[in-house]
Amino acid sequence: RLFSAGYLNETLFSSLGSSCLGLRNPECALQWTDRRLADDPVSEPAFLRRLDVRAALGHDPVELFRELAAHVIRFPHHRDALLLYWSSPSFRQTPLPDMKTLLDLNWGREAPAVFLLNREEHFLSASGGGFVLVTRWVRLNTPVAVEELGELELPSDALVLDVRTLKSDGTVYPPSATPQKSSFSLRNLEPGDIVLFSYLRVNPPIPGLPGRSWGTRFQFSHRAFPTVLAEWVLHAPRDLPLVLRPEGRLPGIQRSVDADGEHLKLQLWTGERQPTELRSARFVPPSIQVHAGFSEPDLYALFAEESPWPDWDSLELAQLARQLCPRQGATCVQDTARWVLRQIRDDRQLTRASHILQRRAGSRLHLLFSLLRHEGYHPRMLLARSSRTSDAPIAWPDPADFPIWLLEVPGFGFIDTRFSRLPPGRMVPAIGGSEAVVLSPTPTTIRLPPASPQSRTLMARASIAPDRSARFEIREFSSGFHAVQKLETFERLTAEALREQIQVDSLQRYFPGSRLLSLEWKRPPADREELTATYTFSAPSVCAPADGRNLELRRFPFPWNLRRRFGVFLPRTTDFLPNALPDTRLELTIEPPPGMRVEASPELKLETGFGRLHRRLVPGPGRSARLILEKSIRTEVVPVARWKAFSAFVQLLDEYETLPVVLVPVR
C-alpha cells in the first residue's frame, strides 16, 4: 500500500530492511538495502548495512574487503567505513621502520624527549579529499618529559588506532581513558619509556570543487624535541594531477607506480629540533604540502568566495549610507570607516551586513564594504600576511597563510578594521610592505605600501632627594601605531585597572619599588593617531655612590634594553627582523639634591645601517642639566652573516642609553 501511494524514500527502505532482519530473512534484507543504496549511493549507513548483510549471507570476505576498499577510496570522509577498512585483517599496512635501528643511533639523548619516528601517510581519492595516518614514537628521557607527556591529548577529530607505552624490557602498558576526558592517561611512565600512538584524520572533499584535494602541511622537524626520522608518504590514483609544495632543504622524493596508483615517499634523518630563534625573518623549515586537481584559477576562486556580496536588501543600510555621505566628497570614506570602527564590535563570525548593523557586532570589514558600495564606491577586499612571515613572491597561495583582512578603496587607500583607533588609510608595521591577495573575479597580488611612521617623545623632570630617591614628572606624546595601541588599552580599561597596568608593566620594570602618584591622558580628535599622557611617580634608590662623595644617576625613563629583547648573546642560524620600535626622544631635566650639581659629559653619537643614537647633556639653570637622548632602529631584515655586527651595535646602543649621569658636590 505504501508503494502504491508513492512513499518510496530512504527511511522506508531502511525500515523494510530492518524488518526483514527481524524476521531472520537476510535475502529480503539485502534486497531492500540494495534498493536503499541505489536510491542514495553516498549513504554510509546504507553501505555498511549492505556489507553486514552480505557477510551474514557468507559472501567471500576477500570480495567484501575489495568492495570496502573501493568505497573508502571513493568516499574517504566516511569515518566508520574508514575505521572498518583499517581494522580489517585483510588490510596491508605499509611496513614501519625498525625501532632498534632508530634507538641504536642514540640521537637526542640530551633532550627531555625525542621523536624516534614522526610519520604521516596520506591517501588521496580521485573524487576529492582523502585521509591521513599519523604515527609517532616518542622516547622520554627525563622526569620533566614524563610529567609533561603523562596526559596524551590527540586532535578532537582523530580516529584513534593505537596508544601504548613500551618499557625498556619489552613490557607494553595500555593507557587508561574515561569518557569524561579527551586525553589518555599514560600509566607507570618513567624515563626511558617509549610512547607509541597512531590515529587517522579525515580530509573531506572541498564543497563545490569535486575531484580536488588540499592536504595539510607536514613539518619534518619539531619545535620542542629533536626528531630522529621523519617520513612523509603519499598514495594517489595515477590520473590525479598532483602539485607538491616543498619548502626548506629536503632530500629527493622516492617515486613508484603500480596498479594501485602513484606512491611518493620522503625521508629526512635530522637528529635535531626545529630552530625556535627569536623573531626569525623568512625562516623556512623543511616541510611539504600536496594538493591535487587544483588549477590556479580554482585556488583564486576559493579566495574570491571570501569577498562580500553587495547587500542591497536593507533600507537601514541605505539610510545610514546617505547620512554618512550625502554626496561623494573628500571625507566620505574616512567618515564612513570611522563610524564603523567606533560603533561596531568586531566579530569575524558574522558577515551579513544588515545583521551586523542590527546587532552592532560582526565583521567591520563586511559592513564597511557594503556601506561604501551604497555610497557609490568600489572597494576591494584583500587578504594579507605579516611581513615577517615571508617576503617571497606568492605562488600557489594557501588561504590559511593570509589571515589579515584589509579593504582597499581606489583613490583613497587601505583600511585595517582590526583597530578602532587606527585612522583609515594608515598601515600598521606588521603588514607594511608585504604582499596581499586582492579578492576579485580575477584575483591578483599587490605589494602593500610601507608602514606609517610612529614616534614617542618624553618630556621628563627628575627631582632627586637627599636620600637618593626621586620624583619623576613625565609628559609623553606618542603618534602613529604606537599611540593607537596605547589608546585602545587606555579606552578599554577602567581608571583603576589602567593605573595598575602602568604600575606593573612600565614603572616596576624600570624603577623597582616605584609608586604611581597621578595619571592624566587626553583623548585625541577622531582623525588623529596620537596620545598625550601626563603622569608622576616616585622611585627609591635611583642613585648610587661613586668615587667618594659623588653620585651616579643610573635609572632613566624608559630604556629599550635591546640586548635582552633581541637576545643578542645567542648565536643565530636564521635571519632576524627587529621589532618596529617608535623613534624616541627623551628630554630629562635633572634637578640634583642640595649641595650637588650635574657634571658635564661628552656628546655621544652612534650611527650605523642598523639605527642611530644621539646623546648629549646640556647645562640648565642653576645646578640642573638636561639630558637629551634620541634613538631609532631600522626595521629591516638582519642576515645571519651580519648578526655579529648587529649584536655589537645593540650592545653599544644599550651602553650609551644607560650611561650614568654623574652628580658631584658643589665647590
User: Are residues 204 and 238 located together in one domain of the fold?
Assistant: yes
User: Are residues 81 and 103 located together in one domain of the fold?
Assistant: no
Q: Is residue 413 part of a domain?
A: yes
Domain termination residue (choose one: 421, 447, 473): 447
* CA-to-CA separations, 405 to 348, 355, 365, 372, 414, in angstroms, rounded: 10, 20, 8, 16, 11
Instruction: Give CA–CA dist 655/35, Å, rounded.
Output: 83
Q: Is residue 26 part of a domain?
A: yes
User: Are residues 381 and 321 located together in one domain of the fold?
Assistant: yes
Instruction: Give CA–CA dist 663/487, Å, rounded.
Output: 37
Q: Is residue 94 part of a domain?
A: no
Locate 412 and state its grid cell.
583613497
Instruction: Give CA–CA dist 32/25, Å, rounded.
Output: 11
Q: Is the dihedral of CA 634, 636, 642, 647 positive or negative?
A: positive
DSSP state of 401: G
Which of 626, 667, 637 minimizes the C-alpha distance to 575?
A: 637
What is the average pLDDT score of the chain?
84
Q: What is the CATH number of the domain that holds 23?
A: 1.25.40
Residue 45 has pLDDT above 50, yes or no: yes
Range of the domain at 397: 304-447
Q: Is residue 331 part of a domain?
A: yes
User: Are residues 177 and 43 located together in one domain of the fold?
Assistant: no
Q: Which residue has the cell 638636561?
A: 626
User: Are residues 326 and 431 located together in one domain of the fold?
Assistant: yes
Instruction: Give CA–CA dist 632/241, Å, rounded.
Output: 51
Amino acid at 53: V
User: Residue 42 — very low, low, confident or very high, per pLDDT cuts 50/70/90?
Assistant: confident
pLDDT tens profile 394-420: 445 566 667 788 999 999 999 999 998
Q: What is the CATH number of the domain that holds 430?
A: 3.10.620.30
- Helix (H/G/I), strand (E/B), else coil: 495: helix
Q: Is residue 21 part of a domain?
A: yes
530 and 426 in contact (C-beta within 8 Å)? no
Question: Of 3-7, 10-14, 545-549, where does mean pLDDT reach its minimum?
Answer: 3-7
Amino acid at 315: L
Instruction: Compare 274 and 69 and report the one with higher pLDDT.
Output: 69
User: Are residues 469 and 486 located together in one domain of the fold?
Assistant: yes
Amino acid at 539: A
User: Residue 560 — very low, low, confident or very high, per pLDDT cuts 50/70/90?
Assistant: very high
Q: What pLDDT shows up at residue 391?
A: 46
Question: For strand 596-598 and strand 227-236, is the pairing parallel, antiparallel, or unpaired?
Answer: unpaired
Provide DSSP, 201-219.
EEEPPPTT-TT-EEPPPEE
User: Are residues 361 and 506 located together in one domain of the fold?
Assistant: no
Q: Is residue 3 part of a domain?
A: no
Q: Is the dihedral of CA 616, 619, 621, 625 positive or negative?
A: positive
Q: What pLDDT shows up at residue 372?
A: 92
Question: Of 28-42, 256-270, 581-595, 613-627, where does mean pLDDT reach its minimum?
Answer: 28-42
User: Are residues 503 and 584 located together in one domain of the fold?
Assistant: yes
Q: What is the CATH number of the domain that holds 156?
A: 2.60.40.3140
- Quote the number of domains for the chain: 4
pLDDT tens profile 635-665: 888 888 999 999 999 999 999 999 999 999 9
User: Are residues 568 and 659 located together in one domain of the fold?
Assistant: yes
User: Are residues 644 and 622 located together in one domain of the fold?
Assistant: yes
pLDDT tens profile 450-463: 888 999 999 999 99
First to last CA, the chain: 120
Q: What pLDDT shows up at residue 12?
A: 54
493 and 501 in contact (C-beta within 8 Å)? yes
DSSP state of 182: S
Q: Which residue has the cell 525500515?
A: 15
User: Are residues 273 and 339 located together in one domain of the fold?
Assistant: no
Question: Of 65-69, 222-226, 615-619, where does mean pLDDT reach its minimum?
Answer: 222-226
User: Are residues 244 and 265 located together in one domain of the fold?
Assistant: yes
Which of 436, 446, 445, 208 minimizes the C-alpha distance to 305?
A: 208
Q: Is residue 93 part of a domain?
A: no
User: Residue 574 — very low, low, confident or very high, per pLDDT cuts 50/70/90?
Assistant: confident
pLDDT tens profile 511-530: 999 999 999 998 888 778 89
450 Cβ contact partners less than 8 Å away, ≥ 6 residues apart:
427, 432, 433
Q: Give the percent of the chain with pLDDT over 70.
A: 88
549 Cβ contact partners less than 8 Å away, ≥ 6 residues apart:
664, 665
Instruction: Give CA–CA dist 186/134, Å, rounded.
Output: 19
Locate 566 and state its grid cell.
633581541
Instruction: Give CA–CA dist 428/404, Å, rounded.
Output: 12
114 and 139 in contact (C-beta within 8 Å)? yes
Q: Count CB-CB contacts under 10 A for residue 571.
A: 10
User: Residue 5 — very low, low, confident or very high, per pLDDT cuts 50/70/90?
Assistant: very low
Locate 104 and state its grid cell.
641504536
- Helix (H/G/I), strand (E/B), else coil: 26: helix
Q: Is residue 4 part of a domain?
A: no
User: Residue 275 — very low, low, confident or very high, per pLDDT cuts 50/70/90?
Assistant: low
Locate 316 and state its grid cell.
537601514
Domain termination residue (choose one: 420, 447, 474): 447
Name the pTM for this structure: 0.71
Q: Is 15 left (phi over 0), alpha (psi -120 to 50) or beta?
A: alpha
Q: What pLDDT shows up at residue 498?
A: 92
Side-chain half-sphere CA neighbours of 306 within 13 A: 25
Q: What is the CATH number of the domain that holds 635?
A: 2.60.120.1130
Question: For strand 404-409 and strand 413-415, is the pairing parallel, antiparallel, or unpaired?
Answer: antiparallel
Instruction: Give CA–CA dist 296/300, Å, rounded.
Output: 6
pLDDT tens profile 425-448: 888 888 888 888 887 766 678 889
Reading across the β-sheet that carries 242-244, which strands appear in turn? 213-214, 290-292, 242-244
User: Residue 20 — very low, low, confident or very high, per pLDDT cuts 50/70/90?
Assistant: low
Domain termination residue (choose one: 294, 319, 350): 294
